[in-house]
Amino acid sequence: MSKCKSFKPSIDNLSEILILGSMPGVKSLEEQQYYAHPQNRFWKVMAYLCKTPKLHEKTYQEKLNTLLKNKIALWDTIKTCKREGSLDSNILNEIPNDIRKLLLKYPNIKRIYLNGNKAYSAFKKYFPDILESYICYKLPSTSPANARYNLAKLIDKWKTVI
């Protein structure tokens, strides 16, 4: 069982949208990059939403900058946990990130999107007050483990972000 630690948020003072994942997977933790697994569809979905073709082929910093230009911030619901492998269902001993503090520091955030069931359930567990006071949406996970959704279906569900 590995101890996993989330990354710092990618956010700036112009950010209006906050996308929260659960906890980066093994590949992302190795690379120290959000959604680094080549089969994760997050960056392909963002390419469509941000009207930036082939975003998934750009450098990591270019990807983050594209999100910020579109007023999209990125972080995780969980700060630390223990987990074997990358599956959210294997997460144990989770400790949440301080999302309240982030929202106080960045008051322009208007909407929060939760990438997958685990991100949503952890958010609901630790931040029920935020769930009630912000516009929050649970979206299908972009993880390759979410085989129920192909890229076209994901894009259709995620269109509400922009």
Q: Which residues are tagged catalytic?
A: 40
Name the pairing type of β-strands 92-96 and 78-83: antiparallel
Who contacts 11 (Cβ-Cβ below 8 Å, separation ≥6)?
A: 18, 68, 73, 74, 75, 102, 106
Contact criterion met (CB below 8 Å) for 118 and 25:
no
Paired tokens of 3: 């101890």
Paired tokens of 63: 């990807």
